Structure 1
Amino acid sequence: MMAQSVAYEVLPLIDNRTIGDGLTQDAGIREIGGVIRNIASRFISGLFGKQIDRLAESTISRAAAETDREFVESVNHAVGVDMSAIINRSGIQNELDAAVMENVGLIRSLSEDYFGDIERLVMEAVRTGQTSTQLRKNIVERTGASESRAKLIARDQLAKVNSDISRKRAQQIGATRFKWMTAQDQRVSGNPAGRYPNASIKCYEIAKQDIGMGAGVYSLNDGARYNGESGLFPGRAHINCRCVQRVLIPGVDYDDE
């Protein structure tokens, strides 16, 4: 929506004009700057601000429901007992509220950064005497970068929500340990001769590390430690972490403590 607004309202002011001529005039600069700021205001406050809140709340709610479903299925399969009765929304409300607030902030910052960059591209074009063709190209490229960043943030945030809720649910059923599971591909282990020479060696090593409970097994309270970092959990070890936790059931996977 942001990109479409820029395409419909800003690019027409740029097309068929030479930056070194028409847009160096004060009126031209003010016109473009004013249009950009007007568009930005629609995506940062007002009605769209309420839509951001609703979007974050509905997305987190759906993610929580899906995580709960997968968690119950995995535990039921392990112990042969239906655990859904003890799974309730009140037990994770703090985690859900925190996730919604974090995502609202991220969406707002994405909008602010995008329009700030668009305005900077225009001012840079004026200072350097770019052609309108080059400025249009730069704006289109910046839009693509914003879309890629938005997708990265979405994947990363859902992985974090999944991690937080799964850990909370595991604690609710009395579990104290989990096993760190990677995606088990070259994006994790690396391949010196391939596309991912280093990859996420961090997660690869964490999944193999044994701190006394078995390879890749850690406390649900403390998480893993690696290279000076502590409190690491699957889905939160780094940006776009694809690792997940396998809950270890007390009395099934290990003796009760």
Structure 2
Amino acid sequence: MAKTVPQTRYPHAAEAAYFRDIQRLVTELGKVTLQVFDEQIKPQIKLYGQDSHGYIMDGPLDVIQRAIEIIKGLSLGIFVSTEILNICTRFLNAVNAQSKANIQQQARIIGIDPTQSEPWLDEFMRSSINENVSYISTIRDEFFPKIEAIIYQGVKNGQSIKAIRDQLVERIGMTQNRAKFIAVDQTGSIFGQMTAKRHQEMGVEKFKWSTSHDDRVRQAHRVLDGRVFAYSDPPAEGLPGTPFRCRCVAIPVFDD
């Protein structure tokens, strides 16, 4: 007979804080981009449009390139490696704290605390932190080729300044969406891996799939809600939390 155990609580606070931290970096990057565009690039676009030869080799295009390099330089003061590391470390610590609290409550049923000795945890934390540092750094690395293409293609195709600026604003918004994706995806994935590892470390062989029970749950996961699976034979979707942007959790099943 399966015993009733406390729910596995998803780390919503950790996810929200992580998104705020990444969003702050992206917002600052966006502000710098638009400020340099308005102050330095916009006047050069006007000059470019006034010249019949287009200044292909020098003139306004060279100034525009230097302005883009200024944005890149300023971004280094935003995406500081130590700050990114601190953001990721805080995030992993918060997810780990929620996971440990869940496991400690659930393990009381069998009278143990499996979190007292976890030799696997240090390496898991280090690798997860490094992975997330890479994700955040990639946001900046992928941003500049996009805005360079928007500006140069817009100038050479004769687009209006407003049209070019609007595309930059749209790109900044897409980068914000990327930040949200990272926060949600990594929270679910890391939390799901921690939960599965800790359940199995304390001898749990089965889990019950539980969704977040809101309108954002994908249909493929709705049909899994409440079903019991063996950790050795999970459903095709994988373990709860590990699919992209999954907020589902695993509840341990203790069999007498």
TM-score, length-scaled by structure 2: 0.76
- After superposition, the C-alpha distances for 1:176-222 in whole angstroms (9 at most, x for unaligned) are 1111111233433xxxxxxxxxxx22212333xxxxxxx62222244
AA paired with 1:216?
Answer: R
* Structure 2 partner of 1:146: 175
Gaps of 5+ in 2: 1-27
CA distance in 1, matches of 2:200, 2:222: 25
Q: Say whether the 8 Å CA contact 2:114–2:198 is kept in structure 1.
A: no
- The structure 2 residue matched to 1:234, chosen from 240, 251, 254, is 240
Q: Which amino acid aligns with 1:244?
A: V
Alignment check: 8 A CA contact 1:44 1:108 kept: no
Query: Following superposition of structure 1 onto structure 2, how do residues 110-149 of structure 1 map, counting pairs within 5 Å?
Result: 110-149=139-178
**Which of residues 244, 248, 251 in structure 1 aligns to 2:249?**
244
Contact 1:14 1:132 in 2 (8 A): no
Per-residue displacement from partner, 1:99-118 (whole Å, max 9, x unpaired)?
11221121111111112211
Q: Deviations over 1:60-118 (max 9, x none)?
A: 12221122123322433xx174x446434533223222211221121111111112211
> Judging changes above 3 Å, is the alpha-carbon distance between structure 1 residues 86 and 102 closer, same or farther for their aligned structure 2 residues?
closer
Higher RCO, 1 or 2 (CA under 8 Å, sep at least 6)?
2
Give, as a single letter, the amino acid of the residue that structure 1 aligns with 2:223.
E
Pair 1:146–1:92, CA change in 2 (3 A): same
Letter in 1 for 2:227: G
Question: 5 Å matches for 1:169-188?
Answer: 169-188=198-217
SS of residue paired to 1:123: helix
**What is the identity, as a one-letter code, of the residue corresponding to 2:148?**
E
Tell me which moved more, 166-175 or 67-76: 67-76
Note the residue ranges of structure 1 that are not aligned, 5 or more in a row: 189-199, 208-214, 227-231
Cα distance change, pair 88–147 in 1 and its aligned pair in 2 (3 A): farther
Residues of 2 paired with 1:46 and 1:166: CA distance? 34
Change in Cα spacing, 1:218 to 1:34, as seen in structure 2 (3 Å) is: farther
Residues 31-46 of structure 1 aligned to structure 2 (within 5 Å): 31-41=63-73, 43=75
Task: Answer with 2-11 or 140-149: which moved more.
Answer: 2-11
> For 1:28 and 1:180, how far apart are their aligned partners in 2?
59
Identity of aligned residues (%): 22
Instruction: Provide the residue aligned with 1:160 in structure 2.
Output: 189
Distance 1:129 1:54 in 2: 44
Answer yes or no: is 1:225 the counterpart of 2:236: yes
Structure-2 change in CA distance of 1:187 and 1:151 (3 Å) = closer
Distance 2:50 2:100 in 1: 60
CA gap 1:89/1:118 in 2 versus in 1, 3 angstroms: farther
How many residues align structurally?
224
